[in-house]
């Protein structure tokens, strides 16, 4: 059985709050941090609302919701992570911010065999490991949105991650979280995004060149290939800024044109048209906001 009982999540945005919910529903002692009190309250509200929705949909009982909420604690001070067995970083896809967080966690987390993990979808894990004095305990643990629903997690050991750390994380994912782990090499995009992102970028290029409308592109993949969601709606769901960030990381590593962000995608990100979270992307969501 897993020896991980006290966990931390750095970041309480869309992914961080989802990961924290997964941990709380699994019976773990969860501590969540954010940079400011305002961001923390926003994340706490998102988490509470998600649990309420699970109750309304019959996925949780009211008792299970209350138990999950009782396991959640919040902080704006990373020093409070001192007693954690596992800390998962889930902040914005910026390498400089993530490195700074790992440097701080390395200093404050007391347990020497504690695991420091990142939920990054594109930044090399080894760069984060190199910022610590315990690279053998650093690993990628990549959840998918929405984390409480999606069963897959990618486990990404680096060249310096110990076999023991990898085994502990995979055991934890299966036995405690009831997730399905797949192991990936520490390469930009890992498994899922290395396959998915070129497909999404191809759909953006098709729309950009006027081959078809956004709705017809999506309908083609939904009705023609039985995809549950078309590529442009999926871009809007993931976030166009996230797609662009992953594309940039993959292009920087492989230098292959299929990974390069199309000009339209870059312009939309610059304009703040990020998809569902901003109210507009390839589709307009303002009426449902």
- Residues tagged active-site: 121, 142, 154, 193
157 DSSP β-pair partners: 139
Cα dist from 50 to 22, 45, 54, 122, 205, whole Å: 11, 8, 6, 26, 34
User: What distance in Å separates the CA atoms of residue 43 and residue 190, rounded to the nearest whole number?
Assistant: 27
């Amino acid at each position: 059985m897993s020896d991980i009982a006290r966990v931390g999540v750095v970041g309480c945005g869309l992914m961080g709050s989802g990961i924290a919910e997964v941990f709380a529903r699994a019976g773990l002692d969860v501590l969540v941090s954010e940079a400011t009190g305002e961001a923390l309250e926003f994340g706490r509200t998102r988490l509470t609302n998600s649990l309420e929705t699970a109750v309304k949909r019959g996925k949780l009982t009211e008792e299970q919701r209350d138990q999950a909420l009782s396991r959640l604690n919040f902080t704006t001070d990373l020093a409070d992570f001192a007693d954690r067995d596992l800390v998962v970083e889930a902040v914005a896809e910026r390498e400089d911010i993530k490195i700074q967080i790992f440097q701080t966690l390395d200093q404050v987390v007391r347990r020497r065999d504690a695991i420091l993990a990142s939920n990054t979808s594109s930044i090399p894990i080894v760069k984060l490991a190199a910022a610590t004095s315990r690279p053998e305990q650093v690993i990628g643990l990549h959840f998918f949105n929405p984390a409480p629903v999606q069963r897959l997690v990618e486990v990404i050991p680096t060249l310096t991650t110990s076999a023991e750390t990898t085994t502990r994380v995979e055991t934890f994912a299966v036995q405690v979280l009831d997730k399905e782990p797949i192991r990936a090499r520490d390469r930009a995009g890992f498994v899922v995004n290395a396959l998915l992102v070129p497909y999404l970028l191809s759909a953006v290029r098709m729309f950009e060149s006027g081959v078809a409308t956004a709705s017809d592109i999506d309908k083609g993949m939904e009705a023609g290939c039985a995809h549950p969601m078309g590529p442009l709606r999926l871009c809007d769901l993931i976030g166009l800024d996230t797609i662009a960030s992953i594309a940039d990381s993959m292009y920087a590593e492989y230098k292959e044109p299929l990974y390069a962000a199309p000009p339209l995608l870059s312009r939309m990100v610059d304009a703040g048209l990020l998809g569902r979270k901003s109210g507009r992307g390839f589709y307009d969501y303002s009426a449902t906001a």
